[in-house]
Structure 1
Amino acid sequence: MADNTTIIRKVVSLILAVCVDLSLFYASGCVVTHSVFGHLARLWVSAALRCLALTAVTLLSLGDFKPLLIRLITAHSLLPAVFETGTKALYHEETQCGLLADIRCWLMCTGASLAAALFWEITIPDTDDAANGKEKKQKARELFMRVLHLNKPDYPLILGGLVFLSLAVICEMFIPYYTGRVIDILGSQYQPNEFMSALLFMGLFSLGSSVSAGCRGGLLLCAISAYTCRIKVKLFGALTKQEIGFFETIKTGEITSRLSRDTNLMGRTVCLNVNVLLRTFIKTLGMISLMMNLSWKLTFLVLMETPITGLIQNIYDTHYQVKRLSLAMQDSMALANEAANEAVSGIRVVRSFNTEKQESRRYDDRLMDTHILKTRRDTVRAVYLLGRRLTGLAMQVFMLYYGRLFIRSGQMTTGNLVSFILYQSNLGQSIRTLTYIFGDMLNSVGAAGKVFEYLDRKPNVSTEGKLQPDQLTGHISFRHLNFAYPACPNKTVLQDFSLELKSGQMTALVGPSGEGKSTCVSLLQRFYEPQDGEILMDSEPLKSYDHRFLHKKIAVVNQEPVLFSGSIRDNIAYGLADCSLDEIQEAARKANAHDFIEQLEKGYDTEVGEGGGQLSKSERQRIAIARALVRQPQVLILDEITSSLDTESENKVQQALASCPNQTLLVIAHRLKTIEKADQIVVVSGGRVQERGTHQELMDRKGSYYNFMQQYTVDTINLYL
């Protein structure tokens, strides 16, 4: 009920204000006929009275009013007086609306003041909106300056592009002028010399505009390409430095979307958008000056379209294009990419479980979400374009109407009007481009913000260690570790975990799956940082060692080895720039891989295919072992590698490892037969060390290890029965 009362009060207040204002407006016209005041004095007195009257009516009916109403009342009251005073001072003329007071003049002034007030409200909001808008603009400005700084290597190309841009704009501005000149020459007494001169200049300006525009586009496109390539490499380098936990929490599709789409948007921020902005701005100023020279009255009429167009564009950019739909579109496309990447990378699992239709349906659902967002975006854009074109059409009707009156009164020629119409069509497009480009730059800067989030992110696992000792024994100490994975911080994997790995000894970790064995390997590789405790190597914290040095001294062979596209030689020497073929072959022999490699048609130059798909699992496993051994690591970690090897290969690998007496060897295996000769066997359960000792010691103790061996023996017998 209260809401209805408020609405009624506002409607009554509006009607009353309109009636009072119209009465004063017509009274002002009556004063003209009786010559009570001078022309300008009458306008300013009328403006003051209307402002006071409207303020009084608003206060009496509403009791209070917002700053928006103050600006609207002030602009509405003062606009006729300001316009007439400026016209009289600059051009020594008096307009029709200044001499007569009728409903058309009142509606024109009301529309202009309303558009100005609304434009002010949208672009410079009050109170909290102003503070939030200022903060967002400041952030966008900072991002833009960062993008601009990254363009520093391309400054010569950009500068050359701007020079040609200026030349193209200057030449282009004179083409409509000479078009109108030709029409005037043809419409009056034909002068061959003047006609040929006008055609010559129009042709020269057209040629200069085309050549300059082509050079400008070529230079700026080169700058965009160079910048985009550079930022992609920079972002990829920043991503590869992040800790493993980062990739467990961030979706692959999101990362690929940043690398592909957002970096391309960043490239447009400076080179393309600034190019369009400067070109349009220079062109707009030039055209306005030439239009003022042709008819200042028509120019002011045309410029009335600017606040309305800016208002429509601002609403579209702020409330739809930038804030909601564009950001939602980016996230939706990232999810669709993620679904496709997962299905393609796991195609074997998809095929084996007959889930092709399910994956297609999942991808279709993600694409449908993107389609819905695109439909909403296109609908909003269609409404926006309709409003913009209706505004332009209305302005053209007004311009043609008043242009006809000016020609009849001798204030313009037909050729001048044609030139003015050509300028007006270009000016309208330029103003729309100016208002649009700010929204597009905000969109591009928003994409840059997401890229800079990754570029600025500091890895949670530091790689700033400097220690590179000449001698390293490889003595490893796990001291009172407590650890939980970043993706599951409430689930503790290791609890008060302590362990010694001695140089020249083989340590085997056994126990049920998921109890923390592989986590020990991940921590030793510094994929993660423990929440409590520390890991020492030769009595020095693991994090104090140089990152490259550490991973050369600690090598790991996983149960599921990863090979990269390229030759076998490239995969064995992966990460070693100065690795010779002899060293590669020696490592392959130790891994029992040399014989099968030599039997291949291209030997060590054989391509392994994507992910090593052209090799069997056993062959991939042996190449991975060779890749670890070629580094001659001080600490070697074998994580369930024997599951893919036959007995002969396993024995040869063990013999090769036995030939390195000073190497620290850590083995994780479920095939307990392979670890009986280990110097130390550690049983891990519940994230703790439950038992440790040699095979015989643990068997005599008849604890967890003894039970594992008994169960393993039974399972092996059942397997062969």
Structure 2
Amino acid sequence: MTGNAATVSRKVAALLLAVCVDLSLFYAAGLVATRSEFGHLTRLWAHAALRGSALTAVTLLILGDLDPLLTRVIAAHSLLPAVFETGTDALYHEDTERGSSVDVRSWLMCAGASLAAALFWEITVPDADDAAAGKEKKQKARVLFVRVLRLYRPEYLLLLGGLVMLTLAVFCEMFIPFYTGRVIDILGTRYQPNEFVSALLLMGLYSLGSSVSAGCRGGILLCAISSFTCRMKVKLFGALTKQEIGFFETTKTGEITSRLSKDTTLMGRAVCLNVNVLLRTFIKTLGMIALMMSLSWKLTFLMLMETPVAGLIQNVYDTRYQRLSLAVQDSTAQAAEVVNEVVSSIHAVRSFNTEKHEARRYDDCLMDTHNLKTQQSTLRAVYLLARRLTGLAMQGIMLYYGRLFIQSGQMTTGNLVSFILYQSDLGENIRTLTYIFGDMLNSVGAAAKVFEYLDRKPEVCMEGTLKPDQLTGNVLFHKVNFAYPKHPNKAVLQDFSLELKSGQMTALVGQSGNGKSTCVSLLERLYEQQEGEILLDNEPLKSYDHRFLHKKIAVVSQEPVLFSGSIRDNIAYGLAECSLDEIQEAARKANAHDFIMKLEKGYNAEVGEGGGHLTKSGKQQIALARALVRQPQVLILDEITSSLDMDSEKKILQTLARCPNQTRLVIAHKLENIVMADQIVLMEDSRVQEQGTHQELMDMQHESPSCRLSVPPQNGD
């Protein structure tokens, strides 16, 4: 507490001493002004330098260092009187020496204005350490923005055409106020018909050129945006489909669809349109300033004083609006996720009678989004009000000084009208420039979400190149350890070793949750094991070409997935060159050909969404045909005969038995399927507990009561 009191005392002492020194120099300036032999402006700037040096010395002497904000206050406080009087001399061309007004009120006004200027600089260009994160964020936004522009490379010709049309539109638009002033001057002086008609004709031509060019520019840029958005959606969709299954288990579907449908569109429109507005406004601003300087450079400099005020308002608005924009994106994605969950699980919702609960949950999400958008709208309304008030104030200042300049003969009435028209547009353009630059950085918030998915590398590598001409299908699990991404601390497979021999059928049995389906998922390379390796013909699975591997390893699940389209399309799914004969042969092996031919359109019959037009047994037969048409070397069957009748089941099993070189992995509960297996593997506690033929395991069960194979005798099924 003593140290804090001492610090406060030093600061108070420094402030009092600085005020005394500054007031002394301020009053001394009035005395020097009456006796000085130096020029007025020279004396002003010398006095400013003396005051700045004295205040800096006093502060350093007592405090030992200078805070950045304090440095700016001292500089502004010392230089403000000199800058003010120099500007007044430039505007009025008066040579009378006014000197610093020796009045405490003048000193207080200077001090207040200096503090306001320093605070303005502190807000717009902060020097504090906590501003580092904000600067880094803006730098990242700039990098993302440049990256989006590079992605527009295929549309560069369209963008170039839009830029040409934009330049023509701006060029024509700039001269309309100029010729408006000319018309007023012609009408206000001696009327010259030829000059009047010429001015009107030129003004009309410039107006027509501006309208035509603006329309062409808008159409060309919309074409560029549409092309870019389509490419980005395809690119993002391709990147998403390459991600591992664990990514989709940990990422909400609503978030993915929101990025794919909304953020890609927002990224394309916001960036391209903002660049269009930025270039148009920038070119127009430069041209207007040049024309305004030719009309009155004094009024032009006065008008530019609006820029720092507009910059301060824009900086505050951008900071808050960007935060709200990100919150709205997240809230919208959450609402989309609720809809997706309810629609995909409508049976469970109906079974548990939770329709009203889900409706309330969706309503809560929408209300969160509504509240955030209301805050956005309120913030924007306040921002627009501040912009309008700033513009009106500057317009009033222009009218006041314009009247003085007309009275002094420095400009004509027509020139003032032209200048006011330019000033109205230029003020709006300056505010637009400050707004659009911040809005461009805000718009890349959507791009950041898209790039996050585009840049993500799948944890399951799919860059293998091995495609051997001959494949025996021998599979080896060697000391595999695995846990799912959602539950990294819960091991599903521990030190798991198993060999699937070519030409043999292996049956995995055991209670749910012991890793049977996990073995299938790892063999399909849906996940990557944490430890150990899985070999196919003594080569790691990741060494094989992705397309080749999934053609040689086929899976038929208990609940097969069919896609909207014909039966033919579903059987040949993923095979671009698959003849009808091959499709029919696979259907015969799956005992599906007969029931397909009984349909009205045969192989061209539609299966409906998710195969809804087919029976459960029909879907399983189609899924089996889809696997067999690939002529896989390793065939994985997950209780596929559970929905088949006895005759169909028998025919399918006989067909599969006629593939002597094919490796088959069966997850089964029916006794017939287990008995037919060349080896039965009992899984328990994430490991292989027992392994052998059905007879060997039954003998072990008789010899050891602890044997856990829960398979009834064959004649008891």
- 1:649 Cα deviation after fit: 2.6
- 1:606 Cα deviation after fit: 2.2
For residues 539 and 449 of structure 1, the distance between their equivalents in structure 2, rounded to whole angstroms, comes to 42
Partner of 2:632: 633
Q: Say yes or no: does 1:622 pair with 2:621.
A: yes
Matched to 2:569, the amino acid is D
Partner of 2:423: 424
Partner of 2:225: 224
Once the two structures are superposed, the pairs formed by residues 93-242 of structure 1 within 5 Å of their partners are 93-94=93-94, 101=101, 116-126=117-127, 128-129=129-130, 131-242=132-243
Once the two structures are superposed, the pairs formed by residues 227-626 of structure 1 within 5 Å of their partners are 227-268=228-269, 270-318=271-319, 320-322=320-322, 324-626=323-625
- Mapped contact 2:270–2:440 kept (Cα < 8 A): yes
- 1:396 Cα deviation after fit: 2.2
For residues 468 and 206 of structure 1, the distance between their equivalents in structure 2, rounded to whole angstroms, comes to 67
- Mapped contact 1:343–1:350 kept (Cα < 8 A): yes
Matched to 1:299, the amino acid is T
- Aligned residue pair count: 712
- 1:685 Cα deviation after fit: 1.1
Matched to 2:321, the amino acid is Q
- 1:425 Cα deviation after fit: 1.5
- 1:656 Cα deviation after fit: 2.2
If the length of structure 1 is used for normalisation, what is the TM-score?
0.90
- Mapped contact 1:683–1:705 kept (Cα < 8 A): no
Deviations 1:42-70 (A, max 9, x none): 21133234424554676689775411221
- 1:388 Cα deviation after fit: 2.5
For residues 249 and 98 of structure 1, the distance between their equivalents in structure 2, rounded to whole angstroms, comes to 74
Of 39-48 and 234-243, the range deviating more from structure 2: 39-48
Matched to 1:278, the amino acid is L
Distance 1:525 1:621, change over 3 A: same
- Mapped contact 2:697–2:709 kept (Cα < 8 A): no
- 1:229 Cα deviation after fit: 1.3
- Mapped contact 1:478–1:535 kept (Cα < 8 A): yes
Distance 1:706 1:380, change over 3 A: same
- Secondary structure of the residue that 1:676 maps to in structure 2? helix
- 1:128 Cα deviation after fit: 2.7
Deviations 1:271-309 (A, max 9, x none): 222222111111111112222222222222221111111
Deviations 1:359-380 (A, max 9, x none): 2122122222222222222233
- 1:518 Cα deviation after fit: 0.1
- Secondary structure of the residue that 1:665 maps to in structure 2? strand
Distance 1:15 1:350, change over 3 A: farther
- Secondary structure of the residue that 2:494 maps to in structure 1? strand
Distance 1:11 1:277, change over 3 A: farther
Q: Say yes or no: does 1:652 pair with 2:651.
A: yes
If the length of structure 2 is used for normalisation, what is the TM-score?
0.91
- Mapped contact 1:477–1:499 kept (Cα < 8 A): yes
For residues 708 and 439 of structure 1, the distance between their equivalents in structure 2, rounded to whole angstroms, comes to 69
Deviations 1:376-402 (A, max 9, x none): 222333332333332222222222222
Matched to 1:392, the amino acid is G
- 1:490 Cα deviation after fit: 0.4
- Secondary structure of the residue that 1:638 maps to in structure 2? strand
For residues 150 and 157 of structure 1, the distance between their equivalents in structure 2, rounded to whole angstroms, comes to 13
- 1:597 Cα deviation after fit: 2.3
- Mapped contact 1:699–1:706 kept (Cα < 8 A): no
Partner of 1:719: none
- 1:18 Cα deviation after fit: 7.8
For residues 434 and 84 of structure 1, the distance between their equivalents in structure 2, rounded to whole angstroms, comes to 30
- 1:633 Cα deviation after fit: 0.7
Of 609-618 and 194-203, the range deviating more from structure 2: 609-618
- Secondary structure of the residue that 2:485 maps to in structure 1? coil
Unaligned 5+ segments in structure 1 are 717-721
- Mapped contact 1:483–1:493 kept (Cα < 8 A): yes
Matched to 1:206, the amino acid is S
Indicate the RMSD between aligned Cα atoms, in angstroms.
3.2
- 1:668 Cα deviation after fit: 0.7
- 1:200 Cα deviation after fit: 1.0
- Secondary structure of the residue that 1:690 maps to in structure 2? strand
Distance 1:36 1:243, change over 3 A: same
Matched to 1:155, the amino acid is Y
- Mapped contact 1:291–1:420 kept (Cα < 8 A): yes
For residues 107 and 175 of structure 2, the distance between their equivalents in structure 1, rounded to whole angstroms, comes to 37
Matched to 2:39, the amino acid is G
Deviations 1:479-502 (A, max 9, x none): 111111111110000111111111
Matched to 1:547, the amino acid is H
- Mapped contact 1:31–1:37 kept (Cα < 8 A): no
- Mapped contact 1:277–1:437 kept (Cα < 8 A): yes
Deviations 1:627-679 (A, max 9, x none): 11111111111112223323233222212212222111111123334322121
Matched to 2:190, the amino acid is Q
Once the two structures are superposed, the pairs formed by residues 675-686 of structure 1 within 5 Å of their partners are 675-686=674-685
Partner of 1:75: 76
Of 275-284 and 291-300, the range deviating more from structure 2: 291-300
- Secondary structure of the residue that 1:493 maps to in structure 2? strand
For residues 6 and 96 of structure 2, the distance between their equivalents in structure 1, rounded to whole angstroms, comes to 42
For residues 672 and 635 of structure 1, the distance between their equivalents in structure 2, rounded to whole angstroms, comes to 22
Matched to 1:455, the amino acid is L
- Secondary structure of the residue that 1:509 maps to in structure 2? strand
Once the two structures are superposed, the pairs formed by residues 35-74 of structure 1 within 5 Å of their partners are 37-52=38-53, 54-55=55-56, 65-74=66-75
Task: Give the % identical residues.
Answer: 76
For residues 57 and 563 of structure 2, the distance between their equivalents in structure 1, rounded to whole angstroms, comes to 80
Of 424-433 and 7-16, the range deviating more from structure 2: 7-16
- 1:133 Cα deviation after fit: 4.5
- Secondary structure of the residue that 2:489 maps to in structure 1? coil
Distance 1:19 1:393, change over 3 A: farther
Distance 1:61 1:627, change over 3 A: same
For residues 144 and 270 of structure 2, the distance between their equivalents in structure 1, rounded to whole angstroms, comes to 10
Matched to 2:477, the amino acid is F
Of 297-306 and 698-707, the range deviating more from structure 2: 698-707
For residues 585 and 624 of structure 1, the distance between their equivalents in structure 2, rounded to whole angstroms, comes to 13
Distance 1:13 1:347, change over 3 A: farther
For residues 549 and 96 of structure 1, the distance between their equivalents in structure 2, rounded to whole angstroms, comes to 92
Distance 1:492 1:470, change over 3 A: same
Distance 1:494 1:48, change over 3 A: same
For residues 564 and 181 of structure 1, the distance between their equivalents in structure 2, rounded to whole angstroms, comes to 71
- 1:16 Cα deviation after fit: 8.9
- Mapped contact 1:116–1:307 kept (Cα < 8 A): no
- Mapped contact 2:124–2:311 kept (Cα < 8 A): no
Unaligned 5+ segments in structure 2 are none
For residues 452 and 324 of structure 2, the distance between their equivalents in structure 1, rounded to whole angstroms, comes to 21
- Secondary structure of the residue that 2:221 maps to in structure 1? helix
- Mapped contact 2:40–2:97 kept (Cα < 8 A): no
- Mapped contact 2:671–2:712 kept (Cα < 8 A): no
Distance 1:487 1:97, change over 3 A: farther
- Mapped contact 1:51–1:77 kept (Cα < 8 A): yes
- 1:625 Cα deviation after fit: 1.2
Distance 1:95 1:532, change over 3 A: farther
- 1:72 Cα deviation after fit: 2.9
Distance 1:165 1:25, change over 3 A: farther
- Secondary structure of the residue that 1:128 maps to in structure 2? coil
- Mapped contact 2:473–2:633 kept (Cα < 8 A): yes
For residues 107 and 293 of structure 1, the distance between their equivalents in structure 2, rounded to whole angstroms, comes to 38
